[in-house]
């Protein structure tokens, strides 16, 4: 894709800004949010992969803006989804710094405490994105992966979604909807439901049906969080009469058969193409922002090149992910933007463009990234934080400008790193010894942030690791 700098659109941006939320007609934009699961930074054609064909996601990038410095809020599933729903760092909620374990298991101190109290999930007292949009007059729907609480009190219909069909856990058989301890995962409004078919198709078909049947004067927010390419590794033609055996190697996260992984991603791309075609057929394109991203970096089954690290870590490969935004005549076509951004920036943008109101007691922590690219605002330095705990292992990171501090704490030992991402995107040259003052400064910023969010999180205090 030809590279067009953010500074090249100054003359057009005045026109785009006027159309962003259709002020002239009084119409507000629709939003379709497409979220992949464990997709690597380098897994798409528009991000350089040649052995996987993703023409539909690529055409979405060709019609809009592709980000090179977009981050997930967490290196695993649940944390990023919390940040998207709340527009705030997931640490404020408590218990959701790493993915909820299969079968509703807490994986570290806060999560274990909350699980013992039957309270591990996204609480309904949080003012979530769908609730903010619904209160602003939007219709809302989710078809796909939720993974923000097993119990009915955490179900998405209680967070403002009008229509729901979702899996509650991290991974499940794509054809029989059982997880790797044989728990059933397919739900609607807090209740198990029976369906047939490949889950990627089910999500896309529900989204297409929603778009085809939509005849309301209300604008809408359609959230389609795919499970692809999360394990178990099953392509669209891999269905069997019986569920995948619990001891099948296809459940192993880092050992996907390459041909199956490719088939999964290519089929998701095909179905995303069907969703995009439906948006066009229903004459919704000019009224709809389409956002695509991944919830965290790819596992070792993915391709994160040129980044180092994988899902679960705070190295770039665990948290930097593909992201694309498109809306004809508003987002410039074929644009590449290097602005550092993160999942909950989408939340801020959607709330702002929808004319919704946030909770003044819990202000959104992101920036309006859509307006940033739409108005061709200059890129600027940001400070972004990550923390993920599982058991005794804690990953910590802060990026300020191009400098990034990363630490891995395991038991009583902590290893610190410092990288300059402007010249070392692959994090191969540790500067912690040669730039000790910068290391100390960023570590101090991280520790200050960690102290604040963990002191005020939901649940009982625990010692800071």
Confidence of residue 25 (pLDDT cuts 50, 70, 90): low
In this prediction, residues 243-249 reach a mean pLDDT of 98
The pTM of the full predicted model, rounded to 2 decimals, is: 0.93
Confidence of residue 455 (pLDDT cuts 50, 70, 90): confident
Q: Collapse the DSSP code of 197 into the 3-class scheme (helix H, G, I; strand E, B; otherwise coil) and give the result.
A: coil
- Give the tokens for residue 312: 């679960």
Residue 359 has pLDDT above 60, yes or no: yes
Q: Collapse the DSSP code of 438 into the 3-class scheme (helix H, G, I; strand E, B; otherwise coil) and give the result.
A: helix
Degrees, nearest 5: CA angle 67-73-74:
120
Residue 6 has pLDDT above 80, yes or no: no
**pLDDT number for residue 459:** 59
High-pLDDT (> 70) share of the chain, %: 93
**pLDDT number for residue 412:** 85
**pLDDT number for residue 457:** 77
310-333 pLDDT per residue, tens? 999 999 999 999 999 999 999 999
Q: Minimum mean pLDDT among 14-23, 31-40, 170-179, 222-231: which range?
A: 14-23
**pLDDT number for residue 456:** 79
Residue 461 has pLDDT above 70, yes or no: no
29-72 pLDDT per residue, tens? 999 999 999 999 999 999 999 999 999 999 999 999 999 999 99
Q: 93, exposed or middle or buried, with CB in 10 Å at 0-12, 13-18, 19+?
A: buried
- Give the tokens for residue 121: 């999930």
70-105 pLDDT per residue, tens? 999 999 999 999 999 999 999 999 999 999 999 999
Confidence of residue 464 (pLDDT cuts 50, 70, 90): very low
Residue 2 has pLDDT above 60, yes or no: no
121-167 pLDDT per residue, tens? 999 999 999 999 999 999 999 999 999 999 999 999 999 999 999 99
High-pLDDT (> 90) share of the chain, %: 91
Give CA 334 to chain center in angstroms: 22
**pLDDT number for residue 458:** 73
Residue 3 has pLDDT above 80, yes or no: no
In which region does residue 406 sit, left (phi positive, over 0), alpha (psi from -120 to 50) or beta (all else)? beta
| Residue with the larger pLDDT of the pair 16 and 239 | 239
DSSP sequence for 388-457: EEETTEEEEEEEETTEEEEEEEETTEEEEEEEETTT-TT--S--TTTTHHHHHHHHHHHHHHHHHHHHSS
Cα distances (Å, whole numbers) of residue 402 to 67, 228, 257, 345, 368: 16, 31, 36, 19, 20
Q: Minimum mean pLDDT among 16-30, 198-212, 355-369, 436-450: which range?
A: 16-30
**pLDDT number for residue 43:** 98
Distance CA 130, CA 356 (A): 10
Confidence of residue 463 (pLDDT cuts 50, 70, 90): very low
382-432 pLDDT per residue, tens? 999 999 999 999 999 999 999 999 999 998 899 999 999 999 999 999 999
**pLDDT number for residue 21:** 53
Residue 454 has pLDDT above 90, yes or no: no
Rg (CA), the chain: 21
Strands 65-67 and 335-337: parallel
In this prediction, residues 232-242 reach a mean pLDDT of 98
């Amino acid at each position: 894709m030809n590279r067009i700098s953010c500074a090249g659109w100054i003359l057009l941006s005045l026109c785009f800004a006027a159309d962003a939320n259709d002020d002239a007609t009084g119409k507000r934009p629709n939003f379709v949010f497409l979220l992949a699961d464990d997709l690597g930074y380098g897994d798409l054609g528009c991000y350089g992969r040649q052995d996987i064909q993703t023409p539909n996601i690529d055409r979405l990038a060709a019609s809009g803006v592709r980000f090179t410095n977009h981050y997930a809020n967490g290196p695993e599933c649940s944390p990023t989804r919390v940040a998207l729903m709340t527009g705030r760092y997931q640490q404020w909620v408590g218990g959701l710094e790493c993915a909820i374990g299969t079968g509703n298991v807490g994986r570290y101190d806060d999560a274990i405490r909350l699980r013992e109290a039957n309270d591990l999930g996204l609480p309904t007292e949080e003012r979530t994105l769908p609730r903010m949009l619904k209160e602003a007059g939007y219709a809302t729907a989710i078809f796909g992966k939720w993974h923000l609480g097993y119990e009915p009190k955490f179900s998405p219909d209680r967070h403002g979604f009008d229509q729901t069909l979702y899996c509650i856990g991290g991974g499940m058989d794509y054809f029989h909807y059982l997880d790797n301890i044989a728990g059933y995962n397919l739900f609607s409004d807090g209740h198990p439901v029976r369906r047939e078919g490949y889950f990627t198709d089910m999500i896309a078909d529900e989204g297409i049906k929603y778009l085809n049947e939509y005849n309301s004067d209300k604008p809408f927010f359609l959230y389609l969080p795919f499970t692809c390419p999360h394990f178990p590794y099953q392509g669209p033609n891999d269905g069997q009469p019986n569920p995948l055996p619990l001891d099948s190697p296809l459940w192993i996260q880092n050992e996907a058969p390459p041909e199956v992984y490719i088939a999964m991603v290519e089929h998701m791309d095909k179905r995303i193409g069907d969703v995009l075609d439906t948006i066009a057929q229903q004459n919704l394109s000019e009224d709809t922002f389409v956002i695509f991203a991944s919830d965290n970096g790819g596992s070792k089954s993915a391709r994160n090149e040129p980044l180092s690290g994988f899902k679960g870590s705070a190295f770039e490969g665990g948290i930097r992910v593909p992201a694309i935004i498109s809306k004809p005549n508003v987002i410039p076509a074929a644009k590449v933007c290097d602005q550092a951004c993160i999942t909950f920036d989408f939340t801020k943008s959607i709330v702002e463009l929808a004319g919704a109101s946030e909770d003044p007691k819990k202000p959104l922590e992101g920036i309006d990234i859509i307006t940033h690219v739409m108005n061709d605002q200059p890129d600027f330095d940001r400070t972004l934080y990550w923390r993920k705990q599982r058991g005794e292992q804690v990953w910590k990171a802060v990026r300020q400008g191009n400098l990034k501090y990363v630490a891995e704490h395991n038991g009583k030992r902590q290893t610190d790193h410092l990288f300059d991402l402007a010249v070392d995107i692959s994090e191969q040259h540790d500067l912690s010894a040669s730039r000790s003052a910068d290391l100390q400064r960023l570590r101090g910023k991280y520790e200050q942030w960690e102290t604040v969010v963990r002191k005020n999180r939901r649940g009982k205090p625990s010692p800071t690791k």
